[in-house]
Chain A
Amino acid sequence: MKKVLLKIESLWSKGDSGEILRGINLKLGPGETQALLGPNASGKSTLAQVILGNPKYKIIRGKIYFLGKDITRFSPERRAKLGMALVWQMPPTIKGVKLSALLEKISKEKIETTEGEELLEREINVDFSGGERKISEILQTIALKPRLVIFDEVDSGLDIKKIETVAKIIKRELISRKIAILIITHSGQILKFLKPAFTNVLVKGRIICKEKNYKKILKVIAKYGYEKCKKCPFLAGRQ
């Protein structure tokens, strides 16, 4: 039987404004790269935050397993220690704290990378450009020596050249080291560089499609939008 790193079973979750995730089912193997596509407000970022244990979101029912352990009630730091990491779409600024100071605190060993060296002595995310934020996030993630990294909208706000650069770092530092990746993206632009094994489509808090060929999904979405996905006869769970 194929090994499972992350397993989400019938996960329902709510935030301040009500239910956001409505029965999510997802499996990710060790070292596997998957993508999660979805329209705005479909629950993509919420899913990422819930997987990492953000206390802002309440789990109504369902389970999250990581490395075979039920981590549904684990604190964010406990999940991080187990090897889960999130690259935030809009990370908060931490004034007065240099990136190097945080890396020193969280690093399991010294990071050898040339990207982002100029950011080390700057306050975390203060006046960072979109690209700088992504590099800073990836540096922190590498420092954690994770088993799974979730990228929340890693390609948003970047031009195609920057997306390619970020994808190269992800491939070199994570994918080539057999670290599992879940790429959350609205546009899907980064997928051609990362070539996910599976692409999931999330609409209104449910994963309605899981497909090996990411190009096929991108083509449908580009032509008809996510509306077509909703009508697709191969909805997840109905195949």
Chain B
Amino acid sequence: MAMKNVKNVHFWQVDNKIKNIIQVPGNVILPSAQAWRKFNWVKKYFDKEPKEGYFIWIKKQVDSPLATCINIASPKASQNLTNLMVVEKGIKVKSNVICSAIGNNLCGSHRARGKLILKSGSSLEYNHFHQWGQNDFVSPDYEFILEKNSRLIYNYKNSFPPKNLLLKTIIQSGEGSSSNLNLVINSLNSKVGILENVNLSGLNSQAVMKLRLVGRENSQTEAVSVISAKSPSRGHLDCQGLVVSPKAKMSLTPRLICQNKDAQLTHEASIGKISEEELTYLRMRGLTEKEAINLIVAGFLKT
């Protein structure tokens, strides 16, 4: 997904250069390195002094979505971002995050470590869009810390995965918090590794994790999704894969770990192929085989 007007995004970085930052009144948007120097309290959220990345501190209600855009535009560009977002108590915010390569063959590298803190009663809808070139290496590693009664909706969509994608997500769920994860990845020739981990450590915390993965061409997809409950809580895993091409490989591992007798954890998982009957049906409506597959895949990713 391309940002329509990139100049209006609140944090815009191309390769290793920050192109633009737009402040939102009452809130703070800074390069991570600057935040490290300016605010002592942020140091506990970083392992070491960050070199690049963004710091977004939402202290005041923002009515329109916050937008960040990280691009790779030069051949062999290498990014190593450390991002931090803090949503203060009771604030509700929506954030659109776009990470993409401008070209299809730049052989870039995009590593991002992010920490997102949702203070008590806050709410975050985090829409994360990835679009990469066929030879890029991408490794996002995000940790969401959900304090009491906070709400998270995390939508990750990758319609153009890179050569290598390693996606790690950890959610620490505090008391009464809820999280909803939706991962959609449509792999062509990529090697995709996914590790999702939700820790339901808070009383009455809830999580629903939904994966929709499509394997096309020579793609290899391996996903491990874990929900572990340490307190009375509820979690559900829904992992569905669709293998479209004969050479594509996919492995889904849903894992439930229950350490509390009052926790309720459930899962459903399946890997299937495109039904010949559906394909024939759409071809009898005049769609070519390729058009029919694309329509079925698009539908599957929306379910």
Interface residues in chain A, defined as those with a beta carbon under 8 Å from any beta carbon in chain B: 52-56, 75-77, 79-81, 85-86, 88, 91-97, 101-102, 105-106, 123, 140, 144
Contact = CB atoms under 8 A, between A and B. Distances in A.
B123 to A, nearest CB: 27
A203 B275 CA distance: 30
B62 to A, nearest CB: 32
A102 B276 contact: no
Given A92-B277, A92-B278, A94-B278, A80 B283 contact: yes
B303 A76 contact: no
Contacts of A144: 285-286
B4 interface: no
B282 interface: yes
A97 B295 contact: yes
Most B CB contacts (10 A, CB to CB) among A80, A96, A101, A123 go to A96
A94 B281 CA distance: 10
B303 A96 contact: yes
B25 interface: no
Most A CB contacts (10 A, CB to CB) among B277, B280, B286, B288 go to B286
28 contacts: A53-B284, A56-B280, A75-B283, A76-B280, A77-B286, A77-B288, A77-B289, A80-B283, A80-B284, A80-B285, A91-B281, A92-B278, A92-B281, A94-B278, A94-B282, A95-B300, A95-B303, A96-B298, A96-B301, A96-B302, A97-B295, A97-B298, A101-B295, A102-B295, A105-B285, A105-B287, A105-B295, A123-B299
Given A92-B278, A96-B298, A96-B303, 11 more contacts: A53-B283, A56-B280, A76-B283, A80-B285, A94-B278, A96-B300, A96-B301, A106-B285, A106-B286, A106-B287, A123-B299
A101 B298 CA distance: 11
A88 B287 contact: no
**For chain B, what secondary structure do more than half of its interface residues adopt (helix, strand, loop), or is it mixed?**
helix
Contacts of B278: 92-94
A144 B298 CA distance: 22
**For chain A, what secondary structure do more than half of its interface residues adopt (helix, strand, loop), or is it mixed?**
mixed
A56 B287 CA distance: 17
Given A106-B285, A144-B285, A144-B286, A94 B280 contact: no
Contacts of B296: 94, 97
A190 to B, nearest CB: 21
Contacts of B262: none
Contacts of A53: 283-284
B284 A85 contact: yes
A95 B270 CA distance: 15
A96 to B, nearest CB: 3
Interface of B: 275-278, 280-289, 291, 295-296, 298-303
B280 A55 contact: yes
B303 A102 contact: no
A52 B284 contact: yes
Given A95-B300, A96-B301, A97-B299, A54 B285 contact: no
A97 B278 CA distance: 12
Given A95-B303, A97-B295, A105-B295, A77 B283 contact: yes
Most A CB contacts (10 A, CB to CB) among B277, B282, B288, B295 go to B282
B211 to A, nearest CB: 15
A178 B283 CA distance: 24
Contacts of B289: 75, 77
A80 B286 contact: yes
Contacts of A76: 280, 283-284
A144 B277 CA distance: 19
Contacts of A77: 283-284, 286-289
A92 B275 contact: yes
Contacts of B303: 95-96
Closest 4 CB pairs of A and B: A96-B299, A97-B299, A96-B302, A80-B286
